[in-house]
Structure 1
């Protein structure tokens, strides 16, 4: 009975989880294994190698590690994740949750609705709106700053992408921190107020110790999402001169524009490995916190 507390039996239990396992295997495990296989071949989009690819072992991986374009994309991806996720979405999401906690319910729901709107809109729609803001020809930002004709996406591509992704993804952090702040005992906040603690002191000494696990979880999720985000391609297409070519954009351009599917798959595998390393670091921090 200890092995089957629900009394379903092994066959019924397997039957319940089989559809979920089938979907996971079909849409997650199989594509990952297929990508790893293609990554060790010279598979091309067209030509003889498209019909009969040859196994080249780790050549694609060593080529990627020696490729200046890969190194450049790796650095830009780290900058993109750090600026727009770890710092941008985390800080802005917490600030909104902290400031809205005492606002009247109607006004709070309205503000949260506007923030959520940026998150739920399709990526192409959001990219088009921001392209209109940052456009050199009559863009909203140039008119507001009295700098008409400034090509923001050409002169400051990564800064534009960091601001764009922070604006677009803050809603998730705001919702998570709103729920996290609800578990902070009001008596602790009141004690800090009576002791004369300022806002930053209250957050550092009272709030943060209670929500540290939420901060780590949120940072893990938004970091992984941002590292794999393809939306920057819709704004800059990796330009100018590879100045905003984060890893997902590099993979796309190598695979579909360059036809190097084997090489692009190897870069995808390296990106997957990086995601796993980041996830393991965060999970270890969470376990240590627990």
Structure 2
């Protein structure tokens, strides 16, 4: 049924440009990655000119590769502590606390948090590198430990704090919108009966925003799992201690020239993303 009255041809004409762009920049690269993931395709050499299909050998090799299992573990830690816990908690706390402050302070705080989110990754990485670097780093000078090289001695901790700082803005905006939908009468009733802040959040606020929490957790988890910004700060070092999966895939593909092997790792990362999405959909269905 054509409820808009445009007709089939006009409707197709409207969506055709978007479909073409999606096909060129999303569908084709995904299919190409799947194809070269089952080949021994390399950046240079004979395998670059004449790649051979190796089936699932690349996947089997990746599962046995200590570098891959190490990166998988680091990625899980990165997602858990910087996104699921860090951005979720800090974003909600900011949204909750900014409800009762003056408008100018709320707008100023929201603007500063948003600034960290909208700045280009290279600019933000350079600023944090200056803060965490050895000898002249701002953090070391403030703490009286100028010789501490934070990115070398505590690489994953530095990346987690960096990602929380940078990505909290989205969670804050989403929770600010969600909290606006909580009935004020219920919040007032909780205050009159003497409920604590935690009891109010648990028994009054959370039932209303549970769907928003699930949506936010899904999005920030997927973004963090595929984030390449850690490469700009640590390049996966030292000694692979901060080499999350996107960084490992990059290094295998462009530094090692193993495009087929790196594509197989990308396929495993994609399967992980799909698993996270399926868990989210299951939780959302149970809530409904």
TM-score, normalised by the number of residues in structure 2: 0.98
Aligned residue for 1:8, secondary structure, equals coil
- Rounded to whole Å, the distance in 1 between the matches of 2:246 and 2:158 is 17
The Cα shift of 1:140 comes to 1.2
**Which residue of structure 2 lines up, in the alignment, with residue 133 of structure 1?**
131
Which of 241, 244, 254 lines up with 1:246 in the alignment?
Answer: 244
**Which residue of structure 1 lines up, in the alignment, with residue 121 of structure 2?**
123
- Rounded to whole Å, the distance in 2 between the matches of 1:235 and 1:5 is 52
**Which residue of structure 1 lines up, in the alignment, with residue 268 of structure 2?**
270
Which of 89, 92, 110 lines up with 1:91 in the alignment?
Answer: 89
Which of 10, 25, 32 lines up with 1:12 in the alignment?
Answer: 10
**Which residue of structure 1 lines up, in the alignment, with residue 58 of structure 2?**
60
The Cα shift of 1:10 comes to 2.1
- The number of equivalent residue pairs is 288
1:202 equivalent in alignment to 2:219? no
- Rounded to whole Å, the distance in 2 between the matches of 1:267 and 1:18 is 32
1:13-162 superposed matches below 5 A: 13-162=11-160
Aligned residue for 1:101, secondary structure, equals helix
- Tell me the alpha carbon deviations over residues 254-279 of structure 1, each in whole angstroms, 9 at most, x when there is no partner: 00110000000000111011101101
The Cα shift of 1:13 comes to 2.0
The Cα shift of 1:18 comes to 1.7
Which of 214, 220, 225 lines up with 2:223 in the alignment?
Answer: 225
- Rounded to whole Å, the distance in 2 between the matches of 1:122 and 1:137 is 26
- Rounded to whole Å, the distance in 1 between the matches of 2:176 and 2:72 is 33
Aligned residue for 1:84, secondary structure, equals helix
- Rounded to whole Å, the distance in 2 between the matches of 1:11 and 1:140 is 61
TM-score, normalised by the number of residues in structure 1: 0.98
1:165-180 superposed matches below 5 A: 165-180=163-178
- Rounded to whole Å, the distance in 2 between the matches of 1:80 and 1:7 is 49
- Rounded to whole Å, the distance in 1 between the matches of 2:128 and 2:225 is 20
The Cα shift of 1:8 comes to 2.4
- Rounded to whole Å, the distance in 2 between the matches of 1:22 and 1:217 is 28
Q: Which moved more, 1:7-16 or 1:78-87?
A: 7-16
The Cα shift of 1:7 comes to 2.5
- Rounded to whole Å, the distance in 2 between the matches of 1:144 and 1:103 is 29
- Rounded to whole Å, the distance in 1 between the matches of 2:3 and 2:141 is 67
Q: Tell me, which stretches of 5 or more residues in structure 1 are unaligned? A: none
- Rounded to whole Å, the distance in 2 between the matches of 1:38 and 1:175 is 40
The Cα shift of 1:4 comes to 2.0
Give every structure 1 segment of 4 or more consecutive aligned residues whose post-TM-superposition deviation is greater than 6 Å: none
Q: Tell me, which stretches of 5 or more residues in structure 2 are unaligned? A: none
